[in-house]
Amino acid sequence: MSSTSLPPGLQIEKVDERIMTLNVGPQHPGSGHMRIIVKIDGDYIVSADPDPGYVHRGEEKMAEYRNYILNIPHLERPVIHDSCNVLYPYCLGAEELLGLEVPERAKYLRVIASELNRCVYIQYWLAIYGIFLGHSTMFMWPAGDRELLIDMLEKMTGARVTHSYFVPGGIRNDVPANFEDMLLKRVNYFEKRIKEYAAVFAGKLSREDAIRLGTTGSTLRASGVNFDLRVKEPYDAYGELDVNVPVLKEGDSYARSKIPWLDMLESCNIIRQAVQKMPKSGSVRVKLKPNPKGGNDEVYKRVESGRGSLGCYIVSRNTPEPYRLKLSVGSFRNLICLPYLLKGEKLGNMPAVYWSLNYWPVEADR
């Protein structure tokens, strides 16, 4: 096959009699919004080729037409159930570019919001994992418990999932009175609930490969690498809080699904600490000029989101709009180990391995 005559990006498949090609997705209970092209020999996967892009919405291009404030709503859409965390690096970056200093109370409220959001995200992720594994209870329990914290976030921000809560220079509004008590009560109950949750051994990722493939988040930590930006590069108020990051050594799907679960327990701890240390009153937002301009500079900020480190690279060229904005998202970085992990697995294990990567297709496509 003269592959040189075809432009790169197109290719012609060779047909093999023994190997069967199977398109999993995008309409498949075990794929989400993406397609995985798997080649199987009998029941074993010979190769897997992820084909994302079904939700590629051109956010990075759109960001070049909107100023720093107008960019907020659409930049949180990639992961709406983790919307605080996905906005976090953008806000940090914009603050550095615009030269803003966040008030102390806002820092703690940001931590609380993002930890709540992390729990909400992980609960949804667990619920969908339940669907992937065909386990009804595993869907129902997290989906129900998730609503507890969604209520809290709704009290805080006014929206169920799309909060648009973080703005460059602080947060949009203060929390209502009595919020702390309600929050602590719910968090304590929530912690009790998730301890009751007590899955799958496949797709082993060794420590060296996890590093080589540049994975992040739970995928990385399940392979025994202790790396969490909340500890390693503390942003906002995380520097003053005591964060114990769960790390497991096994590196299989079970470990990868256990890490987020342990993360939720840790989040409850962090929320409790943050509520204690938070200044009880004070301003939560710095006033901005209309249409603020960034300087001739660039920043790369990253935070630890529910799916791993989430970086935001903003290039600014003296305009109110970012010159170039790039989200380096955890899902996209973890996608690379999918072909690697699926090779040699049984086809039936595919959904378990795939979803254990803590992958959210909308985020990966942006």
Partner 1 sequence: MSEPETNPVEQPASPATPSSTPPAAKPATTPPPAAKPVPVKEIPPFEKSIADKVEAEFSGKVKVEFVKENRIRIKTSKEDVVQVAKFLRDEMHYDHAESVSGVDYPAEKEIEVVYHLGSYTDPQLANQVLALATRAPREENPNPGFDSTRLPSLRDVFYSVEFHERECFEMLGVFFEGHPDNRRLLLPEDWADLPPLRKDFRNKGR
Partner 2 sequence: MLKDLLTPQNANVFVGKLGDVLVKAVDQPLGYAINWSRLWSLWPVHIETACCSVEFGAASGPRYDVERFGIIEAFGSLRQCDLVVVQGTITRKMAPRLRLVYDQMPEPKYVIAMGACAITGGLYFDSYNVLPGIDGILPVDVYVPGCPPRPETLIQGCMLLQEKIKRLKAR
CA pair distance 139, 355, nearest whole angstrom: 14
190 closest CA partner among 278, 80, 116, 79: 116
293 lies in the binding site for ligand SF4 (CB under 6 A): no
String marking each residue 52-91 x if it binds ligand SF4 according to CB under 6 A: -------------------------x--x-----------
Q: For the purposes of burial, counting CB atoms within 10 Å of the CB of 80, is it exposed (0-12), middle (13-18) or buried (19 or more)? A: middle
159 lies in the binding site for ligand SF4 (CB under 6 A): no
244 lies in the binding site for partner 1 (CB under 8 A): no
Judged by beta carbon, residue 159 or residue 299, the one nearer partner 1 is 299
Give me the least distance between CB of 74 and ligand SF4, in Å please: 8
Judged by beta carbon, residue 228 or residue 266, the one nearer partner 1 is 228
CA pair distance 146, 148, nearest whole angstrom: 5
In DSSP notation, 304-348 reads EETTEEEEEEEEEESSSS-SEEEEE-HHHHHHTHHHHHHTT-BGG
> With CB cut-offs between 5 and 8 Å by kind, which of partner 1, partner 2, ligand SF4, none does residue 324 bind?
partner 1
201 lies in the binding site for partner 1 (CB under 8 A): no
User: For partner 1, which residue of 33, 39, 47, 60 counts as binding (CB under 8 A)?
Assistant: 60
Judged by beta carbon, residue 155 or residue 204, the one nearer partner 1 is 204
> With CB cut-offs between 5 and 8 Å by kind, which of partner 1, partner 2, ligand SF4, none does residue 299 bind?
partner 1
Judged by beta carbon, residue 215 or residue 305, the one nearer ligand SF4 is 305
Inter-residue long-range contacts of 285-290, CB under 8 Å, 24+ positions, other chains counted: 285/103, 285/106, 285/167, 285/169, 285/170, 285/171, 285/172, 285/173, 286/100, 286/101, 286/102, 286/103, 286/169, 286/170, 287/169, 288/69, 288/98, 288/100, 288/167, 288/168, 288/169
Rg (CA), the chain: 21
- The identity of residue 242, as a single letter, is D
Give me the least distance between CB of 32 and partner 1, in Å please: 15
Name residues contacting ligand SF4, limited to 314-333 (CB under 6 A). none
> With CB cut-offs between 5 and 8 Å by kind, which of partner 2, partner 1, ligand SF4, none does residue 78 bind?
partner 2
Sign of CA dihedral 214, 222, 121, 359: positive
Task: Tell me if 55 sits within 8 A of 33, measured CB to CB.
Answer: yes
At 132 the three-state DSSP class reads: helix
User: For partner 1, which residue of 42, 134, 158, 214 counts as binding (CB under 8 A)?
Assistant: 214
Longest dimension (CA), the chain: 70
Name residues contacting partner 1, limited to 68-87 (CB under 8 A). none
248 lies in the binding site for partner 1 (CB under 8 A): no
Give me the least distance between CB of 360 and partner 2, in Å please: 9
> With CB cut-offs between 5 and 8 Å by kind, which of partner 2, ligand SF4, partner 1, none does residue 220 bind?
partner 1
33 lies in the binding site for ligand SF4 (CB under 6 A): no
The contact set with ligand SF4 (CB under 6 A) reads 77, 80
